Structure 1
């Protein structure tokens, strides 16, 4: 039966005003389009409370004027003006205040008639109209004093007496309490707005940093592997007829490089599909430098690695950055240098890791399929860890990349 009913009755889309089963004129427009709509529900509840509450209070105030049609119009007019409190809070507040003063001047019974003014004051203060709220409060209190102590002789009900000053002081204390609560709500609302803006900014910053991290990872993985594939494909094509065995070795290198690239790309993409989960394979580090040297050798580049200092286990972030920087530097040698030899120096210093990658050049001026983002990516990786990087041509025609990464080393077991 439930399935038949849901199938036979069209449901409103979640973004329509009827999505929650209420007509659009009943729901506040601000709930679904962000604009300052009319607060129908709260205003209607307030009007009912004021009318009913004043009716009960009037039964114990036989010395006041009875509630007639005009009195009820005034009781409803105050909450009615509050429908404008989101778009025009000052107008709504002063209109409600004047209506309330008219009700009190007419000698009608006391009751929750001041509640609409309190709501108007609250709305004005929260929306930033503090001085207007204070002005309305002063107007209401001064009008009540004027009516209760001087004009009561000329206003209904007949034979009325002056209001005791103790009641005036109590009313003043109540007004001050309302203003204090409104100010507290305003401060709290501004604090929430700032915190929300800070959270949104932090969320956007984290998303941007994650996007840059993934872009760097993909660039380093693909740039290195595709450079190797590009070089070996050229070798294979050149030697396909004259030296089939060497061409076969080039094709084997292409297969190995592409397989490794696919594995690393899959690892990066897995972090997108399952955010928060631990990666299934560890991130590469300097412990995989021999594999990098072997790949470079298959691309025709001889790499000489030297290590200085006592080797320590690096933090994961620094270890990955160091590996990727060396990988990108060697890729640039393959792409842009005529040298077939590169030297990698690794220096383990106290709280610092030094890297130096040199080639003897000369620069070929060509681009073997790169996008020109290699040096930018290396600088971003070093800057993310608070490190430094210097990259540029040497005086003898070669090229040097020098990197310093701050670390907190842990002794190898």
Structure 2
């Protein structure tokens, strides 16, 4: 919303309020003389004041009308200049009380302005301004000893006037407190959302980069091992390195594309890059998140002459929710990455079990026993646990008694 639109909206709401305040104040000032009881044609003995005729209309001086106009204008502009409007209204009230014998509802405008001050400004910024109301209302009885405080009726009037100012101030403080609490909650929610988004991207980058570098390192070791003895066997390892690095770059480009614009889309390719590279970046950013349909590609990059990955599917494969499918893929990916890093060249087994209400993902390796691994969960296991929890599932990871390591995730496929 532009500044002009906001100004028009505020005026559209405050000008009617100012008109109502002005009309009520003017009407009360005109009828400050009361009903025409005792006047010719007035009510008889024992009859209510309104039994015969209306109130007595008393006209004001031009200065009185000007004071009411100033109060109405201050109410209309109260949200633009709250302190100046309050001071102007108090000045108009002081002049009105000094020139008009009875005030009527002249305090209605200051009531509205007191609420505006309390709801728009912190306590330290408006409390001193409301204190100006005390000498203003004392000025109405400046010609009486001790400002009329010795008269119980006048003292009661002061108490009523003080209550008239305290009540809207208290309401304004409550409204401001609730508004500030709502604003802080929104800011905390935004910060929490930003943190969760950064955490999600960090998990994606960790999984992509960590897995790919582990596979590349393993395949490079295989290539170096056979290069001198069996050169013909080095080519598959080098091809795996090339394909793994290519896939990792494309997936990483798609993951980081969320930084380019607020809606996660890709920006045009920067100056100095080839058009094909920009088109490839846009295409990768539109690809769906990887799921279990790419499990064969994932395991193919790890298979080598001395390391095998077996995949076993149990149950009838069924369509999975996108979040569950992606979480299952990342859990398998990270578990295989840990097997490559810590399994000592042993093979691994991936079991995907489709059940009516859950998807069971279990990855085990045949490496040496790691008794201390259960107590040293790194970012990999923590990330897998967070992914399982994010879709309403649970994950357990730990060493096996017969050796090796096992990761088991139970992910719900229905509503939970």
TM-score of the superposition, structure 1-length normalised? 0.62
Is the contact made by 1:354 and 1:402 (CA closer than 8 Å) also made in structure 2? yes
Distance of 1:252 and 1:85 partners within structure 2:
68
Change (3 A) 1:300 1:378: farther
Does 2:207 correspond to 1:209? no
Instruction: Render the CA deviation track for 1:128-149: whole Å, top value 9, x for unaligned.
Output: xxxxxxxxxxxxxxx87635x3
Aligned equivalent of 1:190:
177
Map 1:308-327 → 2, pairs under 5 A: 308-327=314-333
SS in 1 for 2:311: strand
Aligned equivalent of 1:74:
none
Instruction: Render the CA deviation track for 1:28-73: whole Å, top value 9, x for unaligned.
Output: xxxxxxxxxxx99644444444445654665555x99xxxxxxxxx
Does 2:141 correspond to 1:105? yes
SS in 1 for 2:140: helix
Residue 219 of structure 2, aligned match among 232, 257, 270: 232
Change (3 A) 1:328 1:204: same
Distance of 1:218 and 1:236 partners within structure 2:
26
Change (3 A) 1:230 1:337: same
Does 2:250 correspond to 1:244? no
Instruction: Render the CA deviation track for 1:182-233: whole Å, top value 9, x for unaligned.
Output: 2322222111121111111111111111111111111111111111110111
Aligned equivalent of 2:124:
87
Q: Which runs of 5+ in 2 are unaligned?
A: 1-78, 104-117, 266-284
SS in 2 for 1:265: helix
Deviation at 1:241, TM superposition (A): 3.2
SS in 2 for 1:391: strand
Is the contact made by 1:231 and 1:299 (CA closer than 8 Å) also made in structure 2? no
SS in 2 for 1:400: strand
Q: Which runs of 5+ in 1 are unaligned?
A: 1-38, 65-81, 109-142, 151-161
Distance of 1:379 and 1:307 partners within structure 2:
22
Residue 222 of structure 1, aligned match among 209, 226, 233: 209
Is the contact made by 1:228 and 1:299 (CA closer than 8 Å) also made in structure 2? no
Change (3 A) 1:402 1:269: same
Map 1:226-305 → 2, pairs under 5 A: 226-277=213-264, 279-298=285-304, 300-305=306-311
Distance of 1:255 and 1:56 partners within structure 2:
89
Change (3 A) 1:239 1:299: closer
Aligned equivalent of 2:362:
356
Distance of 1:45 and 1:90 partners within structure 2:
15
Q: What do you get for the CA RMSD once the two structures are aligned?
A: 3.7
TM-score of the superposition, structure 2-length normalised? 0.62
Is the contact made by 2:254 and 2:287 (CA closer than 8 Å) also made in structure 1? yes
